[in-house]
């Protein structure tokens, strides 16, 4: 039997998406994010701008975009951030221009922000946003992870647990919820969400032309 020719490869132009992962400390967001970036070449991490000074080894434009307070304030006044916040006396924000450039080129951008940052992203770019909240499997397991990971005092762990409770109260504001019991399963679930969201009709901006061609129009 002769081999049949391979079918022609079809590429439909797609707009990228903004994938947000949020969770309380210890629920596994950072571990899942790192795994996604390793597994998916079409996903890049958003680079934040900050007014804090660079730490040893940090590279401007790769780890952060380091700005003066005046430049940061100017960008805020000009509405050049998708989201921004003050953390321990320093300011952090996501510049709009590079994200929009990536999305227009069909690239997906991963965000590691809390519920407040997610609210701002939703207000400024809802159509491009896919938000996932990561929950721990139980209260006791979250406390155990915090003890194991940080080796902090009981008081520090209690404060972290209190903050976690406040953060988890915003779970209903997210598109998807994943309970991170088995890490590999949670990563696979995020990958499945990403694959499905990439196929949304409204994100496939080249679809109308493709269908017209199929119909011979």
The whole-chain average pLDDT of the chain stands at 92
Q: What does DSSP assign to residue 13?
A: -
Could you tell me which residue, 9 or 213, shows the higher pLDDT? 213
Question: Does a structural domain hold residue 132?
Answer: yes
pLDDT score recorded for residue 1: 47
Q: Between 89 and 20, where is the model more confident?
A: 20
Q: Is the Cβ–Cβ distance between 85 and 126 less than 8 Å?
A: no
pLDDT score, position 144: 85
pLDDT tens profile 9-44:
678 999 999 999 999 988 999 999 999 999 999 999
87 within domain boundaries = no
Q: Tell me what the mean pLDDT of segment 79-89 comes to.
A: 93
Average pLDDT over residues 100-109: 97
- Asked if residue 27 is part of any domain, the answer here is yes
Angstrom distance (rounded) from CA 75 to CA 72 = 5
Give me the pLDDT at residue 150, please. Answer: 57
Residue 94 has pLDDT above 90, yes or no: yes
> Model confidence over 157-184: pLDDT tens digits?
788 888 889 999 999 999 999 999 999 9
Q: Does any domain span residue 5?
A: no
For residue 10, tell me if it sits in a domain.
no
Residues of the domain holding 112: 18-46+107-214
For position 31, which CATH number holds? 3.40.50.300
pLDDT at 5 over 50: yes
Is residue 147 situated within a structural domain?
Answer: yes
Complete edge-to-edge strand list for the sheet that includes strand 43-45: 43-45, 108-112, 18-22, 129-135, 176-179
Q: What domain count does the chain have?
A: 1
- pLDDT value for 122: 97
Q: What is the pLDDT of residue 33?
A: 97
Q: CA 198 → CA 30, 137, 189, 215, 216, distances in Å?
A: 22, 28, 14, 24, 26
**For the chain, what percent of residues have pLDDT higher than 70?**
94
Query: What's the rounded mean pLDDT across residues 186-196?
Result: 98
Residue 101 domain-assigned (yes or no): no
Q: Which of 12, 7, 15 is nearest to 210 (CA)?
A: 12
pLDDT-based confidence at 151, cuts 50/70/90? low
Q: Note whether residue 115 is domain-resident.
A: yes
Confidence band of 6 (pLDDT split at 50, 70, 90): low
Q: Give per-residue pLDDT as tens, 128-149.
A: 999 999 999 998 888 887 877 6
């Amino acid at each position: 039997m002769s081999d049949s020719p391979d079918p022609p490869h079809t590429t439909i132009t797609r707009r990228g998406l903004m994938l947000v992962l949020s969770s309380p400390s210890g629920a596994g967001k950072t571990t899942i994010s790192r795994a996604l970036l390793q597994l998916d070449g079409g996903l890049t991490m958003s680079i934040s701008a900050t007014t804090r000074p660079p730490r040893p080894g940090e590279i401007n434009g790769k780890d952060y975009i380091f700005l003066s307070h005046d430049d940061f304030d100017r960008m805020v006044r000009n509405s050049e951030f998708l989201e921004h916040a003050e953390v321990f006396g320093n300011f952090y924000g996501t510049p709009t221009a590079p994200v929009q450039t990536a999305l227009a080129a069909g690239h997906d951008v991963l965000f590691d922000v809390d519920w407040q940052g997610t609210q701002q992203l939703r207000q400024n770019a809802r159509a491009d946003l896919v938000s996932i909240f990561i929950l721990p499997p139980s209260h006791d397991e979250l406390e155990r992870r915090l003890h194991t990971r940080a080796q902090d005092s009981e008081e520090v762990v209690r404060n972290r647990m209190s903050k976690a409770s406040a953060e988890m109260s915003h779970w209903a504001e997210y598109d998807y919820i994943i309970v991170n019991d088995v890490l590999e399963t949670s990563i696979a679930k995020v990958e499945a969400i990403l694959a499905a969201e990439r196929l949304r009709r409204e994100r496939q901006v080249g679809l109308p032309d493709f269908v017209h061609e199929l119909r011979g129009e």
